[in-house]
Chain A
Amino acid sequence: MSTATISPARRRRGRNLARNVAFLSPWLVGTGLFFGYPLAATVYFSFTRYDGFTAPTPNGLDNWRYVFQDYPFFWPALANTVWLVVAMVTLRVIFGLSLGMLVTKVKTGAGLLRTVFYIPYLAPPVAATMAFAFLLNPGTGPVNTVLGRLGLPEPGWFNDPSWSKPALTLLALWGIGDLMVIFMAALLDVPTSQYEAAELDGAGAWARFRYITLPNISPIVLFAVVTGVIQTMQYYTQPLIAGKVASGVVGGSGQQFEPGYPEKSTLTLPQLVYNLGFQRFDTGSACVIALVLFALSMLFTALLMRRGSALLGEV
């Protein structure tokens, strides 16, 4: 009978590995449970017929084919999501940065201005969206009343498919407080000596912004864009509530709630996850949408991380 001997070096390596794993275990458990497992399960479910009640059964590429070919809401929702990512994120970053610059520059009333611009961000999304839906009501809202008295066109806002996304963008700009604070902190960190040197060299306001401010705050801009893209990909509450309030249809038997009112113009991909998974009991297809969202978020983030710094000109 022979006995296997373990060399001291190998034993040491084993102990080191065990210690390292022990230190990493909180992260490993957290990531495994709350990211790894759900992701693996989502991929698996996307290839199954799963109604959420009975055990899933594999159905190959049926769900993927259905979502891309036959599900009438997918392409409008994708187009809306891309529209919102491009327009809303861009405008939010520009507006947030502009406000940040304003509140860092003004000498008097800065505290009041910061408070006034930040407070809307604290409003619960449902309440804020309902308030906007009432303010922008084409028939009774004060905004159109004022526009009418000024002889200006009165848009249909949330009731008009060509105005519903701009109305949502207005709502997002109203709640700009988070970005304003982030940009304000970044702007206050830019060394004033660089501005003084630039002024001595005769640099104008635009040159100072382009060659001093922007490069200094570029990591923050990149952060704002990346998180903005991810948030917009997950945009759910505001378009859902705006559509519900504007359509007037609550939903119920014989009264189907219409996702994306008006004319699917406020439909976003997360709404489809709910529609398929919880209203149509098609968890498999809902997982396909979730994976599309995941892939798009990763793609946008990777692109921005690779190209963003170059575009903004980091110092």
Chain B
Amino acid sequence: MAFPKRILAASAVIASVSLLGSACTGASKGSANDDPNDEVTITFWHGWSAPSEVKAIQQNIDAFEAAQPNIHVKVVGNITDDKINQALRAGGPNAPDVVSSFTTDNVGQFCSSNVFTDLSPFLEKSGIDPETTFPKPLLDYTQFEGDRCTLPLLSDAYGLYYNKDAFAAAGIDGPPKTLSEFEKDAVKLTKSNGDSYSQLGFMPNYHGYETTTTHYVAQWGPTYFDADGKSTVATDPAFADMLTWQKHMVETLGGYDKLEKYRTTFGDEWGAKNPFQTGQVAMAIDGEWRAGFIDDANVDFEYGVAPFPVPDDQADTYGKGYLSGTIIGIASTSDKQNAAWELVKYLTTDTDAVVSFANAIHNIPSTNAALESPDLDTNDAVKAFIGIAQNPDSNTTPASINGGAYQLTLQDLGYAVESGKQTDLQSSLEAAAQQIDTDIAQAK
């Protein structure tokens, strides 16, 4: 009987060691006791990879180092979110002090798990009032439940791109402002060709690249969660109205199957064969970066940019749109948080830094002062997006503890509605709300 006892004891030891090892996971904590006037080197991770973008961020870093000669910055580019998460888990001397990410959806997790340090004490110490410094939607997606663990570093705005030549050929004077005008224009611009199209006014299907549920519903001014953090997709009429409108557009422009078949002829969203650039669609919802792609593609038509139309009963809010952007924060594992804050403060609030970076990479500035700056490179397209960014009714998708899971649930419902697989809208919205609440409860 001695042998089984040994086995049992060995198993217990192995299990205990395993559990102990497991319990020892989690990042170590840094501190904000460093003197920012000391000679120090901090590490900054970012995701930009295109040569022009890398050059632009390096120019900003050079300017920062010139202004703060005691703080040296080691810049590491082309960093993905998976690498960021891994480094934030591990900590250690090679982990970054300052991190930027394109994914605003992860802010909820970054804040709630304290992997990014709370920036409120730093803002207060520097006398920066976030409410007056940054546009409200940008403040929304950089905090979670009152914990401001990130700040916006440039932003993206979504608007309507329209083909001016196609508009002129169809006898349309200018961009539509309401959804009823938009529908009429989309129909006028659509040229059917058997079971396909020679030109489609607008691709309403949710897989039409940026035609997502969240980008659409921004035009209705939605609230995703109530004060208790419960989903409002079943109670806020914005969602039902948006889903109904989109389904109506799908039917009006030829039906789901015909549109889906046409969609499969589209080229890559980020390539030269983007359907707006090839003329396959005459109107598209897209971000400010599309203008650069269109210019690079040397398209043979004139294009314009305007805010995406709004529901007829909200015509007075025309000018709004969906906003998103890049976020930046300080790793709580950093032992140089005061020095790291100097860099974050410079990149996010110094007007010259924000303007020069926005000009260089064709993004929208993320501070109110930079949006008003005379140094901002402006053409008609940029002006339109700046207007959207400044519009008080523009909005965003709020941070959630489980990333973008709630958006995916809403999007799944959209797919079911547009294809006709789901016809009972209210009960399906209630089911979606319940699913969102269940997912969030599981993540807490």
A residues lining the B interface (CB < 8 Å): 32, 36-37, 40-41, 44-45, 48-56, 62-63, 66, 70, 72, 137-140, 159, 246-250, 252-256, 258, 263, 278-282, 285
Contacts and interface: CB of A to CB of B under 8 A. Distances in A.
B403 interface: yes
Given A140-B265, A253-B156, 6 more contacts: A40-B14, A70-B439, A140-B264, A253-B103, A281-B443, A282-B442
Contacts of A254: 158, 212, 214-215, 322, 324, 396-397, 407
B104 A253 contact: yes
* Candidate in B210, B407, B409, B443 with the most chain A CB atoms within 10 angstroms: B443
Interface string B6-23: 000000001101110111
Nearest to A250: B269
Nearest to B110: A53
B113 interface: yes
B262 interface: yes
B115 interface: yes
B19 A138 contact: no
A254 B210 CA distance: 8
A66 B435 CA distance: 11
A250 B270 contact: yes
A29 to B, nearest CB: 13
21 contacts: A37-B17, A44-B22, A51-B109, A55-B24, A56-B22, A62-B442, A139-B264, A139-B266, A247-B207, A248-B207, A250-B269, A253-B325, A254-B158, A254-B215, A255-B214, A256-B212, A256-B404, A256-B411, A279-B403, A280-B443, A282-B442
Interface string B78-100: 00001001001100000000000
Interface string B110-153: 00111100000000000000000000000001000000000000
B217 to A, nearest CB: 10
Contacts of B403: 279-281
A53 B89 contact: yes
B416 to A, nearest CB: 8
B240 interface: no
A258 B411 contact: yes
A48 B442 CA distance: 11
B113 A255 contact: no
Contact of B324 (A40, A66, A253): A253
B442 A66 contact: yes
A44 B19 contact: yes
B25 interface: yes
* Candidate in A36, A137, A256 with the most chain B CB atoms within 10 angstroms: A256
A246 B403 CA distance: 24
B102 A282 contact: no
Contact of B18 (A41, A70, A258, A279): A41
A198 B34 CA distance: 86
B26 interface: yes
B105 interface: yes
B260 interface: yes
Contacts of A246: 264
Contacts of A70: 435, 438-439, 442
Contact of A263 (B21, B264, B269, B415): B415
B412 interface: yes
Contact of A44 (B18, B102, B156): B18
Nearest to A36: B14
A44 B27 CA distance: 19
Interface size band for B: 35 or more
A49 B109 CA distance: 13
A53 B109 contact: yes
Contact of A255 (B23, B109, B210, B443): B210
B89 A37 contact: no
A51 to B, nearest CB: 5
A249 to B, nearest CB: 6
A258 B412 contact: yes
B109 A256 contact: no
B102 A253 contact: yes
B85 A278 contact: yes
Contacts of A253: 102-105, 141, 156, 324-325, 397, 404
Contacts of B88: 53
A55 B26 CA distance: 5
B402 A40 contact: no
B72 interface: no
A56 B24 CA distance: 9
A56 B19 CA distance: 10
A175 to B, nearest CB: 24
Contact of B25 (A37, A56, A255): A56
A281 B89 CA distance: 12
A285 to B, nearest CB: 7
A248 B113 CA distance: 33
Contacts of B397: 253-254
Given A52-B89, A62-B442, A258-B412, A249 B207 contact: yes
B435 A138 contact: no
Contact of B209 (A48, A51, A249): A249
B264 A159 contact: yes
B405 interface: yes
Interface in B383-413: 396-397, 401-405, 407-409, 411-412
B402 A280 contact: yes
Contacts of B18: 36-37, 40-41, 44
Nearest to B205: A248
A55 B113 CA distance: 10
Contacts of A256: 212, 214, 404, 407-408, 411
Nearest to A261: B207
A44 B265 CA distance: 48
A56 B23 contact: yes
A285 B405 CA distance: 14
Contacts of A278: 82, 85
